[in-house]
Amino acid sequence: MSMQQLSQSRLSRSERGMISIMTTMILIIVISLIVLGFASLSRRNQRESLDRQLSTQAFYAAESGVNDAREAIKAAPAGTVIPEKTSCTGTAGGFYNANPVIDNNANVKYSCLLVDPSPTVLRYTDVGTNSIVVPITAKSGTISRIELTWQSKITSGDPMTGCWETMPSFTTTSGWGCGYGVLRFDLVPTSGTFTAASLASSTMTTFAIPVWSGSFPTIPYAPGASNNNVKTPVYCLTANCKMTVNNLTQNSYHMRISSIYRNASLQIRAYNSAGTVLEIEGSQALIDVTGRAQDVLRRVQVSVPLRANSNNDVSDYAIQSTDSICKRFSVMDNYFDSDVSGVSSSNRLCQP
C-alpha cells in the first residue's frame, strides 16, 4: 500500500470517529433536554398540586374567620351596637377574636379580619316566594332614592329567553317562561313614631315585571290609592334587572321583598339628593376575611344579617295551609250559614 493510500485510510477512520462523537454528543444533549423538560414539568405539577392544597386551606381559614365574626355578632345582646373593625389586627375592644393560627406546622391562619356594620350595599343571595324584611336606615343624611338590582338564579341559558316585550298577564308558575320572576316589594317609611293605621296608609306595593324593551325605570314613592305603579314593567338584560324608587324624604324605611315565579339574587343601595350612595346601618354587616396558608392567600367577603335572620316573621298570606283550602261559603247579616242551598253533603262548603 502506498503512502497516499495509507494516509487516506487513516483520514477516513478519523472522520468516522468524529461523526460518532458528534452523534453521541447530540444524543446526550437531546436526552438531557428531555430529562430536564420532564423534571421541570414534574416540579410544575407538584407545585400546582401544592398550590391547590394551600389554596383550599387558605379558603377554609378565611371561612373560619367569617364564622368567628358571625358568631360574635349573633352572641351580642339585643341593642348592642356592632363595632366596626377597620384594621387587620386588633379586636375592636375585645368584641372580635384575635386572628388565631389554625395550623402552626403549615402556617395556616386568617391574617386579616375586617367588619363593616354599615355597608353601602345590602346583598341577598336567594330571594324567593317567602319574603324577606329589609330595614334601610341611613347612617347619616336623608334617603332620596332606593335602587334595586337583581339577577336570575337559573344556571344555564339566557334568562331573557321566553320573556316579553310588554307586560304579560300573571299566570301559573308552570306557564311562566321567563328566566326572571316578578319582584314584589312593600315600601314603608319608619322614621319617628307611627301606628298600624299610619303604616297601612303609607305603604307602597309594587310588582316589578321583567320585559326586554325600554329602559331601567325610575318610579316615585306613592303609597296606597295614589300608587300608579302597582304593576311596573322593568327592563332586564341578561346580566340583571334594575329599578329605582325616588321622591323619598326620610332617613329610615323598611321593605318586604319577595320574588314570584323565579328566585333572584338582590342588591339594594340608598342615595341622598346629591346622588351619593349612603351607608346603611342596622341591617347587615359586611365581613371581609383573608385566609393564609404559607404563601397562598384567599379572600372571602360575606354579608350577614345583624339580627337573627332576614326572613319575614309574619305570614305572607291572609290564609296559609299545607293542604287545599275550601273557599265556598255563604254569609248573612251577623250569621254564617253552612247550609248552601241545593247542595247535599256532610261537608256542604266543599261541593263543586
Q: pLDDT tens for residues 7-51?
A: 555 555 555 666 777 777 888 888 888 887 777 777 777 667 777
Mean pLDDT over the full length of the chain: 84
Q: Has residue 308 got a pLDDT over 90?
A: no
Q: What residues have CB less than 8 Å from 298, skipping those under 6 apart?
A: 55, 58, 59, 61, 62, 290, 291, 292
Under the banding of pLDDT at 50, 70 and 90, the label for residue 259 is very high
Position 320 scores a pLDDT of 66
Report, as an integer, the average pLDDT of 259-286: 95
In a domain, 197, yes or no: yes
In a domain, 47, yes or no: no
In a domain, 151, yes or no: yes
Position 145 scores a pLDDT of 97
Residue 254, strand partner residues: 135, 188
Report, as an integer, the average pLDDT of 218-239: 92
> For the chain, what is the domain count?
1
**Alpha carbons 260 and 264: distance in angstroms, whole number:** 9
Provide the whole-model pTM.
Answer: 0.77
Q: Has residue 54 got a pLDDT over 80?
A: yes
Domain with 166, as residue range(s), is 118-281
Q: What phi and psi, each to the nearest 5 degrees, are found at residue 66?
A: -60, -45
Position 304 scores a pLDDT of 92
Residue 124, strand partner residues: 266
Q: pLDDT tens for residues 112-161?
A: 999 999 999 999 999 999 999 999 999 999 999 999 999 999 988 899 99
Report, as an integer, the average pLDDT of 204-227: 92
Q: pLDDT tens for residues 63-110?
A: 999 999 999 998 888 778 899 999 988 888 889 988 888 888 878 999
In a domain, 202, yes or no: yes
In a domain, 311, yes or no: no
Report, as an integer, the average pLDDT of 267-290: 95
Under the banding of pLDDT at 50, 70 and 90, the label for residue 284 is very high
Q: What phi and psi, each to the nearest 5 degrees, are found at residue 202?
A: -110, 10
**Alpha carbons 25 and 47: distance in angstroms, whole number:** 32
In a domain, 322, yes or no: no
DSSP 3-state helix, strand, coil percentages of the chain (rounded to 5)? 25, 30, 45
Cα 205 to its chain centre, rounded Å, is 24
In a domain, 58, yes or no: no
Q: Has residue 340 got a pLDDT over 80?
A: no
Alpha helix ranges (H) inside the chain: 3-75, 196-201
In a domain, 128, yes or no: yes
The answer to whether 245 and 269 have CB atoms below 8 angstroms apart is: no
